[in-house]
């Protein structure tokens, strides 16, 4: 039996941790320490040479730890485990999803460069692109899920900065509308604008699906990004982020992380390891609940539209159907829906929920509901939001692990009051 041929869920409890290095402790302890003791000055010199890229580690060389901004067992073991789901070579854990995203953008974009991104994206990402990157003279072009490869290429060429395109950043399924973007199509666009001297990179924010059900690297992405605050953490009790990709690209990401100092703390790493043991059972239950709830919502007369991946095989257009079949192995547990009656009806519904809590964030064990137009996406211009179906009618629901009939009863009694 080959240990590494096992499914990731079988390895989440033990992979990468050696009890004998920690007094036999079954579980990886929290290494609450800022620094690590070298056995000799020579050893310290060698660790730094490798950590700062002055020299490559040789075959089989065991390198020790230096300082918790560079490496810490709670982060390293977690990173090795997280690699298993996406079959990535390397991973870096950050103190938030936003620090993962901003570090990737700052590493792969220089002043004067062009960024291509899909819309809608997470509100914080949208703000970073349109306000923070602008200060560094980095311009961006947004495209929408109904743009074709040809129309996107045309937009890039029309910008007059085609040779400056350096990064494509997409979010699929898009938050909060569940619109799908074709990763292979974006990889083809990336090739089209890459030259011998300059490679364009493709990063995919996979937060909405989590690491179980979509594997962007397989479809041609260079980097996968997560807000680990969501499904990976899964209990709404921590903030963290992750980036995964090849050793070569991750060396760059980890290099900038070292100097921005935005790695997660040991305690957060320890919490995430604990969370990942149940990632599969949690998310499978959440997805099962979501399918029941989506069906209930679809048949309710006060609701005009439900945005749920599970409906794409019957209701989606041909392009969305094709992407769904290619990229996803589950419909996930995020549902959005249009309630008839605008903000007034939407707020009455949200204020009437009892079991489901009115809060932003997603992917936790408890069900949460929010109003993207005035909350998570408040910062996106109204005309852009309306074009992307983020209207005043839209409610976003993150489905938890509760008994599904209790969630449905709560939704039903709140709708009755609207």
Ligand X SMILES: *Cc1c(COP(=O)(O)O)cnc(C)c1O
In the complex, the residues that contact ligand X under the rule CB under 6 A are: 96-98, 122, 124-125, 171, 175, 205, 207-208, 227, 229-230, 239, 241
Considering beta carbons, is residue 129 or 345 the nearer one to ligand X? 129
Give the nearer residue to ligand X in terms of CB position, either 239 or 408. Answer: 239
User: How many angstroms separate the CA atoms of 297 and 417, rounded?
Assistant: 15
Closest distance to ligand X from the beta carbon of 361 (Å)? 7
- Distance of closest approach, residue 231 Cβ to ligand X, in angstroms: 10
Q: According to DSSP H, which parts of 194-311 are helical?
A: 247-260, 266-276, 279-298
Q: 47 vs 86, which CB is nearer to ligand X?
A: 86
- Distance, in Å, from the CA atom of 366 to the CA atom of 89, rounded to the nearest integer, reads 32
Q: Which is nearer to ligand X, 116 or 414 (CB)?
A: 116
As given in the structure block, the two tokens for residue 356 are: 């489901």
- The residue (of 162 and 239) whose beta carbon lies closer to ligand X is 239
As a whole number of angstroms, the distance between CA 399 and CA 328 comes to 18
Q: Which is nearer to ligand X, 15 or 122 (CB)?
A: 122
- Sign for the pseudo-dihedral over CA of 57, 59, 61, 66: positive
Nearest CB to ligand X, comparing residues 17 and 208: 208
What phi and psi, each to the nearest 5 degrees, are found at residue 116? -105, 135
- How far apart CA 412 and CA 213 sit, in angstroms, is 29
Q: Of 159, 132, 12, which Cα lies nearest the Cα of 82?
A: 12
Alpha-helix runs per DSSP H in 207-278: 247-260, 266-276
Rounded to the nearest whole angstrom, what is the least distance from the CB of residue 121 to ligand X in the complex? 7
CB of 268 to ligand X, least distance (A): 11
Give the nearest distance from C-beta 334 to ligand X in angstroms. 9
**Smallest distance, Å, CB 205 to ligand X?**
5
Which residues, including other chains, have CB under 8 Å from residue 303's CB and lie 6 or more apart?
297, 337, 338, 339, 340, 415
226 three-class SS: strand
Gyration radius of the chain over CA positions: 22
Q: In the bound complex, what is the minimum distance in angstroms from residue 206's beta carbon to ligand X? A: 8
Give residue number: closest CB to ligand X. Answer: 97
């Amino acid at each position: 039996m080959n240990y590494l041929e096992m499914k990731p869920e079988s390895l989440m409890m033990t992979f990468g941790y050696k009890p004998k290095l920690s007094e036999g402790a079954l579980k990886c302890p929290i290494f609450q320490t800022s620094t690590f003791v070298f056995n000799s000055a020579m050893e310290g010199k060698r660790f730094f040479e490798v950590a700062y890229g002055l020299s490559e580690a040789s075959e089989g060389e065991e390198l020790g730890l230096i300082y918790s901004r560079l490496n810490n067992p709670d982060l390293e073991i977690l990173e090795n485990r997280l690699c298993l789901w996406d079959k990535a070579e390397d991973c870096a854990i950050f103190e938030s999803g936003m620090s993962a995203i901003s570090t990737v953008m700052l590493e792969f974009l220089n002043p004067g460069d062009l960024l291509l991104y899909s819309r809608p994206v997470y509100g914080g990402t949208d703000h970073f692109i349109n306000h923070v990157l602008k200060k560094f003279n980095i311009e961006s072009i947004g495209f929408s899920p109904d743009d074709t490869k040809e129309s996107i290429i045309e937009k890039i060429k029309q910008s007059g900065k085609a040779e400056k395109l350096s990064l494509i950043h997409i979010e699929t399924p898009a938050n909060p509308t569940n619109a799908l973007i074709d990763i292979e199509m974006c990889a083809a666009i990336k090739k089209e604008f890459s030259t011998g001297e300059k490679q364009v990179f493709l990063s995919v924010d996979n937060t909405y699906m989590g690491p179980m059900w979509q594997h962007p690297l397989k479809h041609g992405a260079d980097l996968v990004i997560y807000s680990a605050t969501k499904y990976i953490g899964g209990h709404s009790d921590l903030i963290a982020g992750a980036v995964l990709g090849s050793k070569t690209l991750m060396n760059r990401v980890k290099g900038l992380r070292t100097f921005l100092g935005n790695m997660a703390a040991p305690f957060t790493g320890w919490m995430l390891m604990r969370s990942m043991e149940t990632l599969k059972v949690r998310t499978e239950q959440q997805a099962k609940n979501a399918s029941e709830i989506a069906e209930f919502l679809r048949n309710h007369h006060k609701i005009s539209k439900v945005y749920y991946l599970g409906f794409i095989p019957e209701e989606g257009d041909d392009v969305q159907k094709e992407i769904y079949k290619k990229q996803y192995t589950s419909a996930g547990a995020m549902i959005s829906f249009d309630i008839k009656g605008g903000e007034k009806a939407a707020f009455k519904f949200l204020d009437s929920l009892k079991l489901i809590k009115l809060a932003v964030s997603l992917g936790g064990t408890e069900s949460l509901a929010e109003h993207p137009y005035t909350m998570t996406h408040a910062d996106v211009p109204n005309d852009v939001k309306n074009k992307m179906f983020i209207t005043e009618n839209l409610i976003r629901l993150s489905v938890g692990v509760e008994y599904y009939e209790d969630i449905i009863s709560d939704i039903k009694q709140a709708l009755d009051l609207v």
